[in-house]
Amino acid sequence: MAIRTYYDPLHQGIALDDKLPEEEMVIRLIDSSPFQRLRRIKQLGPASLTFHGAESSRFSHSIGVFHIARKAFNKLIKINSELKKYRGLLYASALLHDIGHGPLSHTSEGMFDINHEKWSSKVISEHPFISKELDHLDDNLSLKVSKLIEGKNPEHKLIKTLVSSQLDCDRLDYLMRDSNSIGTNYGQIDLERILSALTLAPDGDLAIDPKGLMAVEHYLVVRNLMYRTIYNHRLNEVSNWLLEKIIETARHLSPKELWVDNCLSKWIWEPREIDLDLFLANDDIRTLYHLARWKDESPKPLKILCDSFLNRKLLKATNIDYLTTEVQLEALVITRNLAEKLGKDPFFCCGLRHNKFIGYQPYKSGLRIWDGSEMQAIEKASLLIDRLISPSKTAWLIYPKEIHIDLERALLQLRQSKKYN
């Protein structure tokens, strides 16, 4: 075998040549069991309950990130050929940046209180096959990649920027991929124009040629829209709340009350005991199988929660961010009281979920325009980007649909009473 091609719905043919040492490493890493596990991790977690086409995987995304990183790197080494020695570091970091995701991607961070970047670092540095393949290409490469993923002293700042920054290959792929899978045009960006505008600043880090300013403006606007309308959609928030409530409820039960296999038993009741093998053994299939069993074979409250999630009997949600934090808590009390009047346990059907989308961050690896003689922060060159700095917040009040009319009336009265007092 000389060439292996992955046919991607977004990037078309992604060819790998095993005669090139770095690409041979990529092929072997893709074939490893930890990477193949990413086929069983949904890219957008439970978002398919809101957008039925959201079925893509972390596997496809990770290969896409590698592909974009390779294209960007091949352009930048034409400016500075000394960067070639970092090719293996970039390829491995781009490909493996998400290898530590838990079941249902980011949702597992709330469900099980895990950090996917720390687990990615652990898989890279401790898994025998992964670390061996990396170190076979370059001594201590596994340690270098592991540190880069966690943001600790990257060997070269440019490589870290390409993998994780305000304009990285991860974001470029997921905006396009997620938009494509859910069937919206919000995430369509001019990738080729952005890549053609990448250049090197005098300090060796990434910069943008002025010709690419509008393409980058568009990319940042797209990201803002995707978070506000897709990632933080109210039903996504409800689905995530339900999953977190399911695990919280399971944790309050004992092993005698609930069927759980040996792997998930550790995840639920002894999370500090999760080792590398137990972590990699859990994926969407195992977690959702447990929910399916619990729907039929668990105490009633957990049954109802699992049924609500699996059969999309979702709760409703309304944004009450217009209220102060104190008044939001009053609204939650009102919601719980209304649910109790209907004979429902508010613990299982009422909640308040806050979300904050942090827009463009000029103080955190901010983007720069470099025309060959003068450097300028991108927000200084663009009023549009300057406006994207302000964060947006939501406060989702979650409740059963049966109280919708009464709750709307109560919230109106609450808002009016606070307005005039």
DSSP secondary structure, 265-329, as one string: HHHHH-GGG--HHHHHH--HHHHHHHHHHHHHHS-HHHHHHHHHHHTT-PPEEEE-TTS-HHHHH
Dihedral angle of Cα 131, 133, 136, 137, to the nearest 10 degrees: -110
- In this structure, are residues 408 and 397 in contact, taking their beta carbons and an 8 Å threshold? no
Q: At 382, phi and psi to the nearest 5?
A: -140, 115
pTM: predicted TM-score of the whole model, two decimal places: 0.95
How many residues are given for the chain? 421
Measured distance CA(362)–CA(264) in Å, rounded? 41
- In this structure, are residues 95 and 6 in contact, taking their beta carbons and an 8 Å threshold? no
pLDDT at 382 over 80: yes
Binned at pLDDT 50, 70 and 90, residue 90 comes out as: very high
- pLDDT tens-digit map of 295-312: 999 999 999 999 999 999
Binned at pLDDT 50, 70 and 90, residue 187 comes out as: confident
- Helix residue ranges per DSSP H, 77-115: 87-96, 107-112
pLDDT of 176 reads 96
- In this structure, are residues 43 and 56 in contact, taking their beta carbons and an 8 Å threshold? yes
CATH class for the region spanning 234-356+394-420: mainly alpha
What percent of the chain has pLDDT above 70? Answer: 99
Residue 318 forms beta bridges with which residues? 397
CATH 1.10.3210.10 region(s) of the chain? 3-227
Report which secondary-structure segment, H or E, holds 331. helix 325-341
> Could you give the C-alpha distances from 319 to 21, 131, 141, 354, 393, in angstroms and in order?
52, 46, 47, 9, 10
pLDDT at 78 over 90: yes
Query: What's the whole-number mean pLDDT along residues 82-87?
Result: 96
Report which secondary-structure segment, H or E, holds 14. strand 12-17
Measured distance CA(386)–CA(235) in Å, rounded? 30
pLDDT of 420 reads 47
- pLDDT tens-digit map of 321-339: 999 999 999 999 999 999 9
The percent helix, strand, coil of the chain (3-state, each to 5) is: 60, 10, 30
Residue 356 forms beta bridges with which residues? 393
Binned at pLDDT 50, 70 and 90, residue 417 comes out as: confident
CATH 1.20.1250.30 region(s) of the chain? 234-356+394-420
- Do strands 375-377 and 368-370 pair parallel, antiparallel, or not at all (unpaired)? antiparallel
Q: At 353, phi and psi to the nearest 5?
A: -125, 115
User: What's the Rg (C-alpha) of the chain?
Assistant: 23
- pLDDT tens-digit map of 65-77: 999 999 999 999 9
113 dihedral zone (left: phi>0; alpha: psi -120 to 50; beta): left
Measured distance CA(372)–CA(381) in Å, rounded? 15
- The sign of the torsion formed by the CA atoms of 208, 392, 104, 7 equals negative
Q: Which residue did the predictor score with more confidence, 156 or 239?
A: 239
Residue 42 forms beta bridges with which residues? 57
Query: What's the whole-number mean pLDDT along residues 232-254?
Result: 97
- pLDDT tens-digit map of 260-290: 999 999 999 999 999 999 999 999 999 999 9
pLDDT at 206 over 80: yes
**Token duo for residue 258:** 């609930």
pLDDT at 316 over 90: yes
> What is the arrangement of strands in the sheet containing 392-399, beginning at the earlier edge strand?
316-319, 392-399, 351-357
Measured distance CA(246)–CA(309) in Å, rounded? 9
How many other β-carbons are positioned within 10 Å of the β-carbon of residue 338?
A: 20
What architecture is the 3-227 domain classified under in CATH? Orthogonal Bundle (1.10)
- pLDDT tens-digit map of 170-179: 999 999 999 9
pLDDT at 292 over 90: yes
pLDDT of 419 reads 67
pLDDT at 392 over 90: no
